[in-house]
Chain A
Amino acid sequence: MIGLTFLAALIAVLPLTLIVWHLIRQGATSVNLDFFTHMPKPTGDAGGGMANAIVGTGVLVLLASVIGLPVGIFAGLYLAEQRGARLATAVRFLSDVLNGLPSIVLGIFAWGLLVRPFKHFSALAGGMALAAMMIPFVTRTTEEMIRLVPVSMREAALALGYTKWRTSLSIVLRTALPGIVTGTLIAVARIAGETAPLIFTAFGNSFWSISPTQPIAALPMQIYFYATAPYDDWHAQAWAGALVLLGLVLIISVAARFATRSRAGLGSD
């Protein structure tokens, strides 16, 4: 029995091991400084990089966070504090549904909201699609983390004369902060690799653009375009892009672990 579970545990992490190994083998040779600092070269020219896509992913994640984090965190605070309210129960259920929704559906939402009315693809629409993915996850994580804050801590602050909303902000949210940061980082890691919702919102861009109102390149989309193109050097670029994306997600995940660890309470004011 132990042998069987051991085997299952190994199989569980096998895909990751294989992916990492394969990506390094295929992509490592193409990852160099140029990859990070240069624009894509025209078809047929060797070299070049994905600077626009890397920065584009950064811009998209930033936009998504600016839209999604405040909404998610405050919604989570609401759910945790108004636990039994009918609206809270409904929001909680719908968040879980939203969490399980295929990301392309959320892309359609952003498309209908920001692309169709303006007849224009834009980074903002992409950011909105990613924010829609982020919000239910951040909402639920924030709620769980806030629920872990002892009631007595809240009562103690009230007893010291703090008002209800100041207690919520400076005690409850502050105590739950490390957990919320972890949840946020996991959400960021999840959306950073999304392709589907971006195809008809951010659209992609072969040129340099960081404008929220213009179409913007993103690493996962660029990988998709390059991998499906019939050129060998584009394939190599796609492998490199995948490796960089994996590295990015890995770094964020490690940061998330780190934030959780400091939850022991030895933080600074």
Chain B
Amino acid sequence: MNAARVTEAPRQALQSPEVLAVDALDAYFGASRVVRDVSFTVQSGQVTAIIGPSGCGKSTLLEIIAGLSAASEGSVHFEGRPIGREVPEGVGVVFQEDATLPWLTVQQNVAFGLRRADLARAGRDERVRDALRIVGLTDFATSYPAQLSGGMRQRVCIARTLVMQPRLILLDEPFGALDQQTRLLMGDEVLRVWRETGATVFLITHALDEAAMLADRIGVMSARPGHLKDIVETGWPRDRDSRIVERPEFGAITARLWKHLRGESMKTLGRPAS
């Protein structure tokens, strides 16, 4: 983590490289177990991805980490403090679906979270300008979401999270609703945001290539009830972009991910793994 960004409270973050620690997490949806005994840590400044078949409980996992849902067992610590029933200061979340507010312009959307912040007007405007620059939407500041493409709207959502200056950014299948080419390019956006802000990124996805391209570490989750089957280190350089997919290692990584996921995905299809 970039030391300049760290304020008083998260002193522990400096001592420990673990921004996020998930320990023996269990979650139930009514009577059905969704997440089973999941433990992992997220290192400061890294991109960590969790990949798994649909319905494996990875969204629930993210909601628990974000403080939007409660775990049944186990604990989640962000910068050394347990996460309660609300989104902790310093954590930003971007969701799968388009969550722009249709009645606000792009810059009003981005400024939305700052309305509550104790911040002078000028400081607010500057933060909004910064965030829009990072996601490349400066020219669309006064447009309404309806006038933008799906990828642009998702960038608005990313910018809306960025203005809050999160130290940990959670991405919940952020490009799930986008087409394949746009997804790769949005991956570039995320990597650029990640480098520019120095934030730690945690994302969940069902897309092999997305995880393989974005993440430093990838956790592979089983079918429901989801638990971690494997953790893959990609070893990518920090200044990577979507052209990384051309590399032979990329193929090796996706192959390793698919080896785990194929069987798990077949289970969700109702077929025995073969």
A and B from one complex: yes
Contact yes or no, B103 A175, CB < 8 A = yes
Contact yes or no, B99 A162, CB < 8 A = no
Contact yes or no, B102 A159, CB < 8 A = no
Closest B residue, CB atoms, query A178: B103
How far is the CB of B89 from the nearest CB of chain A, in Å? 8
How far is the CB of A107 from the nearest CB of chain B, in Å? 39
Contact yes or no, B102 A175, CB < 8 A = yes
How far is the CB of B176 from the nearest CB of chain A, in Å? 10
Residue B160 CB within 8 A of the other chain? yes
Contact yes or no, B146 A266, CB < 8 A = yes
List chain B residues, Cβ under 8 A from A161: 86-87, 89, 113, 116, 164
Task: Please measure, in the bound complex, the distance between the C-alpha atom of A265 and the C-alpha atom of B92, giving whole angstroms.
Answer: 25
Contact yes or no, B146 A268, CB < 8 A = no
Task: Please measure, in the bound complex, the distance between the C-alpha atom of A266 and the C-alpha atom of B142, giving whole angstroms.
Answer: 12
Residue A5 CB within 8 A of the other chain? no
Of the candidates B68, B103, B108, which one forms a contact with A159 in the assembled complex, judged by CB atoms under 8 Å apart?
A: B68
Known: A175-B103, A265-B103. A159 touches B96 (CB 8 A): no
List chain B residues, Cβ under 8 A from A151: 97
How far is the CB of B203 from the nearest CB of chain A, in Å? 14
Known: A152-B98, A155-B93, A269-B108. A160 touches B164 (CB 8 A): yes
List chain B residues, Cβ under 8 A from A155: 68, 93, 95, 99
Interface residues of B in 53-106 (CB under 8 A from A): 66, 68, 86-87, 89, 91-93, 95-99, 101-105
Of the candidates A152, A175, A268, which one forms a contact with B95 in the assembled complex, judged by CB atoms under 8 Å apart?
A: A152
Contact yes or no, B103 A160, CB < 8 A = no
List chain A residues, Cβ under 8 A from B96: 152
List chain A residues, Cβ under 8 A from B116: 160-162
Residue B258 CB within 8 A of the other chain? no
Total residues of chain B contacting the partner, CB 8 A:
30
How far is the CB of B26 from the nearest CB of chain A, in Å? 22
List chain A residues, Cβ under 8 A from B68: 155, 158-159
List chain A residues, Cβ under 8 A from B40: none
Contact yes or no, B101 A153, CB < 8 A = yes
Contact yes or no, B66 A267, CB < 8 A = no
Give the one of A153, A162, A267 with max B CB within 10 A. Answer: A153
Total residues of chain A contacting the partner, CB 8 A:
22
Task: Please measure, in the bound complex, the distance between the C-alpha atom of A265 and the C-alpha atom of B101, giving whole angstroms.
Answer: 9
Of the candidates B98, B102, B112, which one forms a contact with A160 in the assembled complex, judged by CB atoms under 8 Å apart?
A: B112
Contact yes or no, B99 A152, CB < 8 A = yes
Residue A113 CB within 8 A of the other chain? no
Residue interface mask A138-182, B partner, CB < 8 A = 1: 000000000000111101111111100000000100110100000
Contact yes or no, B93 A266, CB < 8 A = no
How far is the CB of A175 from the nearest CB of chain B, in Å? 7
Task: Please measure, in the bound complex, the distance between the C-alpha atom of A3 and the C-alpha atom of B98, giving whole angstroms.
Answer: 43
List chain A residues, Cβ under 8 A from B95: 152, 155-156, 159
Residue A33 CB within 8 A of the other chain? no
Known: A150-B97, A152-B97. A159 touches B146 (CB 8 A): no
Task: Please measure, in the bound complex, the distance between the C-alpha atom of A62 and the C-alpha atom of B146, giving whole angstroms.
Answer: 35
Residue A264 CB within 8 A of the other chain? yes
List chain A residues, Cβ under 8 A from B98: 150, 152
How far is the CB of A266 from the nearest CB of chain B, in Å? 5
Residue B261 CB within 8 A of the other chain? no
Give the one of A153, A156, A264 with max B CB within 10 A. Answer: A156
Residue B144 CB within 8 A of the other chain? yes
How far is the CB of A11 from the nearest CB of chain B, in Å? 38
Give the one of B86, B98, B102, B145 with max A CB within 10 A. Answer: B102
- Where the two chains meet, the residues of B that have a C-beta atom closer than 8 Å to any C-beta of A are 66, 68, 86-87, 89, 91-93, 95-99, 101-105, 108, 112-113, 116, 144-147, 157, 160-161, 164
Q: Which 8 A-B pairs have the closest CB atoms?
A: A265-B102, A160-B113, A152-B97, A159-B93, A265-B146, A156-B99, A152-B95, A152-B99
Given contacts A155-B99, A160-B87, 6 further A-B contacts (CB under 8 A): A152-B97, A159-B68, A159-B91, A159-B95, A161-B113, A269-B105
